[in-house]
Structure 1
Amino acid sequence: MGKGGMSHGDVKDGEEENMAAWLLGVNNLKIQPFKLPPLGPHDARIRMKAVGICRSDVHYLKEMRIADFVVKEPMVIGHECAGIIEEVGSEVKHLVPGDRVAIEPGIGCMRCDLCKEGRYNLCPEMKSFASPPVHGSLANQIVHPADVCFKLPDDVSLEEGAMCEPLSVGVHACRRANVGPETNVLVMGAGPIGLVTMLSARAFGSSRIVIVDVDDHRLSVAKQLGADKTVKVSTSLNDIPTEVEQIKKAMGGAIEISFDCVGFTKTMSTALSATSSGGKVCLVGLGHTEMTLPIAPAAIREVDVVGIFRYKNTWPLCIEFLRSGKIDVKPLITHRFGFSQKEVEEAFETSARGGTAIKVMFNL
């Protein structure tokens, strides 16, 4: 097990000291001891095996905040994860030590109206790994409610299990937008979330998918992963009318659903203009908090705008998509690192640089 080559204090009874990657300040990540809470009757103690880096993790490292989520004290980072059950609480019946599990990072209060309706992702009391002040999962071991730990079939790897978290965003978006076999789908942005949204739309039955980006390499990856057509665009708002025509031509039919996986004024304006009358635009990426958009022209064509926040009840379907081969996330994992101080720093730098990196994964 990686301890980052560091030794901290005495550990009783020859036990291994639990270590985690702590965010201490801007560009300051340190592997330090992480004391686990006691195991409750409904909890599981899990040895982490695969943890992916998300753009939000990088954002916290660079800025110490995302919108209203501010890191005010040292916090363990990471939330895309899978591991092996070490111990379960007295009331846990569906898991035993040795089980390999994918872990849903968020827990609603399960008492408010939104939770009771099943929309626990919108719970105002939601506690989610590495959303301040809740500690994350880039650690040797964690304790988490067992009912959000999902057993992996033998033929789904732990890395694929960790990929269920980003994949859940795409699955939730497709559910919100009602993607089906008769839906032509446009995806704005070929980053990790754009790619999992594209893969999800295909698994939901969409027969034609066009994906748009500013970067040639990302578009080539999208093509390899099964996009029917790709369109390269600029960052200039002035190019929207021309690009919308190119996108419509690439689709060769009505664009029923557009997913904006970037969330900039330009991408959202393009999606609103390109989507056919009576269609839907689903805002997935949140690049700009405020935008000036051509809403009226879209509204008079009855284009619906829907938003998503994280996901709900997606892990079983994600695991089934992976088990059945309907979705293959393995090509998205481009870089792998171990769990040492040096490798943690290198991994985050690799993810932040972008370039050819799609998903950077820790193997613990």
Structure 2
Amino acid sequence: KEGIITFDPLKKSKQRILIAPLDWGLGHATRCVPLIKELIADFELVLAASGRSKQFLQQLFPDLLHIDFEGYNIRYPANGNMAAKMLLQVPKVMQRIKEEHRELQSLIQEHQIDLVISDNRFGLYSSSIPCIYITHQVHIQAPNLLSDPLFKLHGKYIKRYTECWIPDHPDAHNLSGELGHGEVPANCRYIGPLSRLQKVDCEKAFDYCALISGPEPQRTKFEDLLVSIFRNRAESLLLLCGKPEENSKVKEGNITRISHQGDEELARSICSAKAVIARPGYSSIMDLAQLEAPCVLVPTPGQTEQQYLAEYHQQTNSVPWFSQSELSMEQLKQTTASVIQTKWGSPNFNQEIRRILDGTADKNG
């Protein structure tokens, strides 16, 4: 079979790949890390991102070329109707999709790009080179009246790409449920879950570890809520704040707050807690499953995808979840955190990516 990339020995020694994650929280950037690590030895990589995503990738891969590439600048409401807030931002997002599509053509020429890997950025397709689109949410969770139109619109964009990579398994041992399964466009391929973390054995130093993530202002509201719940309590809390632009560690009584950690430190911190409190964003779900970390999920208010994933993993893995408004120490103490179960390494992710690029992989294998 022919691979996605056709090597041209007359062009240059290594093919050049542009990788561009969406700026919706850090999750899209973090799940690109295993891809980057797999490709970095054999390809020249160019990373295009903005804000915290760019800062995060620059810290991990300082020797790569980083391009400031404006994102969609999605904002969650501090209070009120999430659907209405998101609907008001649609014109801005659609305009940015058109702009990034035009900008991509310039990037391809300027940097001699051979392949594009876009993590949930809709406009990074081209007729001149192969382009890969990564998403776990082929079926976008939305109020009923919007579900079918959004599926058709998303499918329209997916079909403009050479392939769509779904970071999950095709069978029942999956993490995304209906989001990434059922009816999907013909160019979709399941590549297995993506996590940059590796499980480590260590002593339990904290009662709870909280992963603070997602767009503002809800990211900060979640952090402040947990501080108010745990302040002056006997239970210890490790707050991992997901701020790569900062470098701080502060201990205030029973609460330890760390702005940002590298992969190994982060895995050790998560594994050092008796239970993890986290948003059920899909990248967090993949990391928690990889680490086999007992967890409690707290969906971002009004975020329908996270609400679905929380309910899905309660049904499939008995993972408890609470709405943000009902989260309390009493609820946590009465709850037994559970592990998100999935299979890993079947097929081996690194081997799968290599087979996809050289054309030896089956479509869903």
Tell me which protein shows more strand as a share of its residues.
1
TM-score, normalised by the number of residues in structure 1: 0.33
